[in-house]
Amino acid sequence: MTHRPMNVLYFGDIAVGQPLPTLVKCPDIVQSMRVGAVTENFHRVHWDREFARHDGLPDVILGTAFLSNMLSQLVTDWIGVEGTLRKLAYRFRGYAHPGDSLTATGAVVATEVRDGQPTVECQLWIANQHGTRLTEGSATVVLPVR
Amino acid sequence: MIGQEMESVTDAVERGAIRRYAQAMGNADPLYLEEEYARRTRYGGIIAPPLFLGTLAAYPRGYPEPGEDGIGGRTAAEQVDLPLKRVVVGGQEWEFFEPVRPGDRITITSRLAELRETVGRESGPMIVNVKESTYTNQAGQVVAICRHTRLLR
Protein backbone atom coordinates (compact mmCIF):
# COMPACT_ATOMS: atom_id res chain seq x y z
CA MET A 1 0.00 0.00 0.00
CA THR A 2 1.53 3.26 -1.11
CA HIS A 3 1.00 6.21 1.20
CA ARG A 4 1.64 8.74 -1.48
CA PRO A 5 1.07 12.31 -0.33
CA MET A 6 -1.60 13.84 -2.53
CA ASN A 7 0.38 16.86 -3.64
CA VAL A 8 -1.83 19.51 -5.16
CA LEU A 9 -0.72 21.94 -7.85
CA TYR A 10 -2.85 25.09 -7.77
CA PHE A 11 -3.68 27.35 -10.71
CA GLY A 12 -2.59 30.43 -8.74
CA ASP A 13 0.92 29.07 -8.32
CA ILE A 14 1.55 28.82 -12.08
CA ALA A 15 3.17 31.56 -14.17
CA VAL A 16 4.02 31.77 -17.86
CA GLY A 17 7.61 30.75 -18.50
CA GLN A 18 7.75 28.49 -15.48
CA PRO A 19 9.65 25.28 -16.26
CA LEU A 20 8.06 21.89 -15.75
CA PRO A 21 9.93 19.30 -13.69
CA THR A 22 12.10 16.79 -15.54
CA LEU A 23 11.36 13.10 -16.01
CA VAL A 24 14.39 10.98 -16.94
CA LYS A 25 14.22 7.44 -18.31
CA CYS A 26 16.99 5.15 -19.51
CA PRO A 27 15.21 2.36 -21.38
CA ASP A 28 16.98 -0.92 -22.17
CA ILE A 29 16.11 -3.53 -24.80
CA VAL A 30 13.97 -5.43 -22.27
CA GLN A 31 11.82 -2.36 -21.75
CA SER A 32 11.62 -1.88 -25.52
CA MET A 33 10.29 -5.45 -25.86
CA ARG A 34 7.90 -4.90 -22.95
CA VAL A 35 6.51 -1.66 -24.41
CA GLY A 36 6.00 -3.48 -27.73
CA ALA A 37 4.17 -6.28 -25.94
CA VAL A 38 1.68 -4.08 -24.04
CA THR A 39 0.94 -1.95 -27.08
CA GLU A 40 0.71 -5.10 -29.27
CA ASN A 41 3.36 -3.65 -31.54
CA PHE A 42 5.43 -6.73 -32.43
CA HIS A 43 7.54 -5.14 -35.16
CA ARG A 44 11.03 -6.70 -35.00
CA VAL A 45 12.61 -3.28 -35.25
CA HIS A 46 11.69 -2.84 -31.56
CA TRP A 47 13.37 -6.01 -30.20
CA ASP A 48 15.61 -7.67 -32.81
CA ARG A 49 19.02 -5.96 -33.12
CA GLU A 50 20.04 -7.87 -36.24
CA PHE A 51 16.78 -6.92 -37.96
CA ALA A 52 17.18 -3.25 -36.96
CA ARG A 53 20.78 -3.12 -38.25
CA HIS A 54 19.74 -4.79 -41.49
CA ASP A 55 17.17 -1.99 -41.76
CA GLY A 56 20.00 0.58 -41.57
CA LEU A 57 19.47 1.54 -37.93
CA PRO A 58 22.29 1.61 -35.35
CA ASP A 59 20.20 -0.41 -32.88
CA VAL A 60 16.58 -1.29 -32.16
CA ILE A 61 14.25 1.68 -31.69
CA LEU A 62 11.79 2.22 -28.86
CA GLY A 63 8.15 2.27 -29.94
CA THR A 64 6.73 5.76 -30.18
CA ALA A 65 4.27 4.82 -27.40
CA PHE A 66 7.20 4.91 -24.98
CA LEU A 67 7.96 8.53 -25.88
CA SER A 68 4.36 9.74 -25.84
CA ASN A 69 3.90 8.09 -22.45
CA MET A 70 6.93 9.91 -21.09
CA LEU A 71 5.18 13.18 -21.96
CA SER A 72 1.89 12.03 -20.47
CA GLN A 73 3.62 10.88 -17.28
CA LEU A 74 5.61 14.10 -17.04
CA VAL A 75 2.37 16.07 -17.03
CA THR A 76 0.28 13.81 -14.77
CA ASP A 77 3.13 13.53 -12.22
CA TRP A 78 3.39 17.33 -12.23
CA ILE A 79 -0.33 18.19 -11.92
CA GLY A 80 -1.09 15.41 -9.44
CA VAL A 81 -4.41 13.69 -8.94
CA GLU A 82 -6.36 16.96 -8.53
CA GLY A 83 -5.28 18.26 -11.94
CA THR A 84 -6.89 17.09 -15.18
CA LEU A 85 -5.12 16.47 -18.48
CA ARG A 86 -7.45 17.81 -21.20
CA LYS A 87 -5.26 17.77 -24.31
CA LEU A 88 -1.98 16.18 -25.26
CA ALA A 89 -0.36 16.53 -28.68
CA TYR A 90 3.06 15.43 -29.88
CA ARG A 91 5.17 14.92 -32.96
CA PHE A 92 8.01 12.46 -33.34
CA ARG A 93 11.28 13.89 -34.65
CA GLY A 94 13.80 11.14 -33.98
CA TYR A 95 14.38 7.65 -32.68
CA ALA A 96 15.18 6.54 -29.14
CA HIS A 97 17.48 3.54 -28.68
CA PRO A 98 18.24 1.29 -25.69
CA GLY A 99 20.96 2.87 -23.57
CA ASP A 100 19.81 6.41 -24.29
CA SER A 101 19.23 8.77 -21.40
CA LEU A 102 15.97 10.55 -22.21
CA THR A 103 14.84 13.71 -20.45
CA ALA A 104 11.27 14.92 -20.74
CA THR A 105 10.48 18.45 -19.63
CA GLY A 106 8.65 21.59 -20.72
CA ALA A 107 7.51 25.11 -19.90
CA VAL A 108 4.27 26.92 -19.19
CA VAL A 109 3.23 29.04 -22.18
CA ALA A 110 -0.24 30.29 -21.17
CA THR A 111 -2.55 30.51 -18.15
CA GLU A 112 -6.14 31.68 -18.39
CA VAL A 113 -9.60 30.94 -17.09
CA ARG A 114 -11.31 29.49 -20.15
CA ASP A 115 -15.05 28.67 -20.08
CA GLY A 116 -14.83 29.00 -16.32
CA GLN A 117 -11.98 26.50 -16.09
CA PRO A 118 -8.53 27.47 -14.77
CA THR A 119 -6.48 26.31 -17.75
CA VAL A 120 -2.71 26.02 -18.24
CA GLU A 121 -0.97 25.33 -21.53
CA CYS A 122 2.55 23.92 -21.73
CA GLN A 123 5.10 23.07 -24.34
CA LEU A 124 6.76 19.71 -23.86
CA TRP A 125 9.77 17.98 -25.30
CA ILE A 126 12.03 14.96 -24.91
CA ALA A 127 15.76 15.21 -25.55
CA ASN A 128 18.37 12.46 -25.60
CA GLN A 129 21.84 12.61 -24.01
CA HIS A 130 23.17 14.48 -27.09
CA GLY A 131 20.56 17.23 -26.68
CA THR A 132 18.66 16.08 -29.77
CA ARG A 133 14.93 16.63 -29.43
CA LEU A 134 13.20 13.35 -30.25
CA THR A 135 9.65 14.45 -29.48
CA GLU A 136 7.94 17.83 -29.25
CA GLY A 137 4.46 18.46 -27.99
CA SER A 138 2.01 20.43 -25.95
CA ALA A 139 -0.49 19.85 -23.17
CA THR A 140 -3.55 21.61 -21.83
CA VAL A 141 -4.43 20.98 -18.18
CA VAL A 142 -7.12 22.21 -15.80
CA LEU A 143 -6.00 22.89 -12.24
CA PRO A 144 -7.82 23.49 -8.95
CA VAL A 145 -8.04 26.97 -7.41
CA ARG A 146 -6.98 27.42 -3.80
CA MET B 1 -12.94 9.20 -49.27
CA ILE B 2 -12.36 12.06 -46.80
CA GLY B 3 -14.73 11.82 -43.86
CA GLN B 4 -15.45 8.19 -44.69
CA GLU B 5 -15.85 5.93 -41.66
CA MET B 6 -13.02 3.40 -41.68
CA GLU B 7 -13.93 1.09 -38.84
CA SER B 8 -15.83 0.75 -35.61
CA VAL B 9 -14.53 -1.74 -33.06
CA THR B 10 -15.26 -2.38 -29.40
CA ASP B 11 -12.76 -3.55 -26.78
CA ALA B 12 -12.80 -4.09 -23.03
CA VAL B 13 -10.60 -2.24 -20.53
CA GLU B 14 -9.00 -4.88 -18.32
CA ARG B 15 -7.44 -4.15 -14.93
CA GLY B 16 -4.50 -6.47 -15.66
CA ALA B 17 -3.88 -4.76 -18.98
CA ILE B 18 -3.78 -1.37 -17.20
CA ARG B 19 -1.26 -2.74 -14.68
CA ARG B 20 0.98 -4.31 -17.34
CA TYR B 21 0.84 -1.13 -19.41
CA ALA B 22 1.78 1.17 -16.50
CA GLN B 23 4.60 -1.16 -15.43
CA ALA B 24 5.99 -1.54 -18.96
CA MET B 25 6.08 2.24 -19.33
CA GLY B 26 7.80 2.59 -15.94
CA ASN B 27 4.91 4.60 -14.52
CA ALA B 28 4.29 3.59 -10.91
CA ASP B 29 1.45 6.06 -10.21
CA PRO B 30 -0.73 4.18 -7.68
CA LEU B 31 -3.82 5.65 -9.38
CA TYR B 32 -3.32 2.95 -12.02
CA LEU B 33 -2.19 0.16 -9.73
CA GLU B 34 -3.62 0.34 -6.21
CA GLU B 35 -7.34 0.18 -5.60
CA GLU B 36 -7.11 1.28 -1.96
CA TYR B 37 -5.18 4.41 -2.89
CA ALA B 38 -7.32 5.15 -5.94
CA ARG B 39 -10.56 4.81 -3.96
CA ARG B 40 -9.50 7.73 -1.73
CA THR B 41 -8.98 10.03 -4.75
CA ARG B 42 -11.65 12.02 -6.57
CA TYR B 43 -11.83 9.20 -9.14
CA GLY B 44 -13.08 6.75 -6.52
CA GLY B 45 -11.12 3.86 -8.03
CA ILE B 46 -8.42 2.80 -10.47
CA ILE B 47 -8.36 4.56 -13.83
CA ALA B 48 -6.31 3.90 -16.96
CA PRO B 49 -3.34 6.14 -17.90
CA PRO B 50 -4.49 8.62 -20.58
CA LEU B 51 -2.70 6.99 -23.51
CA PHE B 52 -3.76 3.47 -22.54
CA LEU B 53 -6.68 4.03 -24.93
CA GLY B 54 -4.23 3.83 -27.81
CA THR B 55 -3.59 0.15 -27.10
CA LEU B 56 -7.22 -0.96 -27.42
CA ALA B 57 -8.38 -3.12 -30.32
CA ALA B 58 -4.89 -3.50 -31.81
CA TYR B 59 -5.84 -6.89 -33.24
CA PRO B 60 -9.58 -6.96 -33.92
CA ARG B 61 -10.91 -10.23 -35.33
CA GLY B 62 -10.25 -10.52 -39.03
CA TYR B 63 -7.20 -8.26 -39.03
CA PRO B 64 -3.86 -9.67 -40.27
CA GLU B 65 -1.75 -11.58 -37.75
CA PRO B 66 1.86 -10.34 -37.45
CA GLY B 67 4.15 -11.64 -40.18
CA GLU B 68 7.84 -12.57 -39.98
CA ASP B 69 8.70 -8.87 -39.61
CA GLY B 70 6.23 -8.56 -36.73
CA ILE B 71 3.91 -6.19 -38.57
CA GLY B 72 0.20 -6.93 -38.46
CA GLY B 73 -3.07 -5.89 -36.88
CA ARG B 74 -4.32 -2.38 -37.42
CA THR B 75 -0.91 -1.22 -38.67
CA ALA B 76 -0.98 -3.54 -41.65
CA ALA B 77 -4.71 -3.19 -42.24
CA GLU B 78 -4.46 0.55 -42.48
CA GLN B 79 -1.61 0.64 -44.91
CA VAL B 80 -2.85 2.30 -48.03
CA ASP B 81 -2.14 0.26 -51.14
CA LEU B 82 0.37 2.63 -52.69
CA PRO B 83 3.97 2.16 -53.89
CA LEU B 84 5.41 3.56 -50.67
CA LYS B 85 8.14 1.99 -48.60
CA ARG B 86 7.56 3.26 -45.10
CA VAL B 87 4.73 4.16 -42.80
CA VAL B 88 5.88 6.39 -39.97
CA VAL B 89 3.86 7.65 -37.02
CA GLY B 90 4.00 11.42 -37.41
CA GLY B 91 2.17 12.39 -34.26
CA GLN B 92 -1.06 12.38 -32.34
CA GLU B 93 -3.42 14.95 -30.86
CA TRP B 94 -5.57 13.74 -27.98
CA GLU B 95 -8.51 15.35 -26.24
CA PHE B 96 -9.68 13.72 -23.03
CA PHE B 97 -13.20 14.13 -21.65
CA GLU B 98 -13.91 11.34 -19.15
CA PRO B 99 -11.80 8.91 -17.10
CA VAL B 100 -11.47 5.33 -18.37
CA ARG B 101 -11.97 2.57 -15.80
CA PRO B 102 -11.45 -1.20 -15.60
CA GLY B 103 -14.56 -2.93 -16.92
CA ASP B 104 -15.38 -0.17 -19.42
CA ARG B 105 -16.25 -1.24 -22.94
CA ILE B 106 -14.86 1.29 -25.37
CA THR B 107 -16.07 1.63 -28.95
CA ILE B 108 -13.61 3.24 -31.33
CA THR B 109 -15.07 4.86 -34.42
CA SER B 110 -12.51 6.11 -36.94
CA ARG B 111 -12.71 8.18 -40.07
CA LEU B 112 -10.21 9.47 -42.56
CA ALA B 113 -9.93 13.16 -41.70
CA GLU B 114 -7.21 14.26 -44.10
CA LEU B 115 -5.14 12.90 -46.99
CA ARG B 116 -2.67 15.13 -48.80
CA GLU B 117 0.69 15.17 -50.53
CA THR B 118 3.63 17.10 -49.17
CA VAL B 119 7.41 17.28 -49.55
CA GLY B 120 9.59 16.75 -46.47
CA ARG B 121 12.76 18.81 -46.03
CA GLU B 122 14.95 15.74 -45.86
CA SER B 123 12.69 12.83 -46.66
CA GLY B 124 11.25 14.06 -49.98
CA PRO B 125 7.70 13.52 -51.20
CA MET B 126 5.24 11.86 -48.86
CA ILE B 127 1.57 11.42 -48.16
CA VAL B 128 0.08 12.75 -44.95
CA ASN B 129 -2.78 10.62 -43.67
CA VAL B 130 -4.81 11.81 -40.67
CA LYS B 131 -7.21 9.44 -38.97
CA GLU B 132 -9.64 10.71 -36.33
CA SER B 133 -10.78 8.17 -33.76
CA THR B 134 -13.59 8.77 -31.28
CA TYR B 135 -13.57 6.64 -28.12
CA THR B 136 -17.01 6.13 -26.58
CA ASN B 137 -17.76 4.16 -23.40
CA GLN B 138 -20.66 1.79 -22.65
CA ALA B 139 -22.68 4.70 -21.23
CA GLY B 140 -22.46 6.56 -24.54
CA GLN B 141 -20.00 9.16 -23.18
CA VAL B 142 -17.22 10.26 -25.51
CA VAL B 143 -14.13 9.67 -23.35
CA ALA B 144 -11.51 10.84 -25.86
CA ILE B 145 -10.82 11.85 -29.43
CA CYS B 146 -7.49 11.24 -31.15
CA ARG B 147 -6.21 12.67 -34.41
CA HIS B 148 -3.46 10.34 -35.59
CA THR B 149 -1.07 11.49 -38.32
CA ARG B 150 0.81 8.95 -40.43
CA LEU B 151 3.46 9.76 -42.98
CA LEU B 152 3.72 7.43 -45.96
CA ARG B 153 6.72 7.63 -48.21
CATH of domain A11-27+63-142: 3.10.129.10
Task: Enumerate the residues of chain A whose CB falls inside 8 A of the CB of residue B36.
Answer: 1
Q: Which of A3-17, B41-55, B114-128 has the highest mean pLDDT?
A: B41-55
For residue B153, give how far its alpha carbon lies from the nearest alpha carbon of chain A (Å): 16
Contact flag A65-B30 (C-beta cutoff 8 Å): no
Task: Enumerate the residues of chain A whose CB falls inside 8 A of the CB of residue B58.
Answer: 39-41
Contact flag A90-B58 (C-beta cutoff 8 Å): no
pLDDT of residue B79: 52
Nearest-CA residue of chain B relative to A84?
B96
Of B61, B33, B60, nearest to B46 (Cα)?
B33
CATH of domain B5-152: 3.10.129.10
pLDDT in tens, A107-117: 999 999 999 99
pLDDT in tens, B97-129: 999 999 999 999 999 999 899 887 777 888 888
From the list B59, B70, B91, the residue facing A91 with the nearest CB is: B91
Note the pTM of the prediction, 2 decimals. Answer: 0.92
Query: Is the pLDDT assigned to residue A38 strictly greater than 70?
Result: yes
Confidence category of residue A129, pLDDT binned at 50, 70, 90: very high
Of B136 and B70, the structure prediction assigns the larger pLDDT to B136
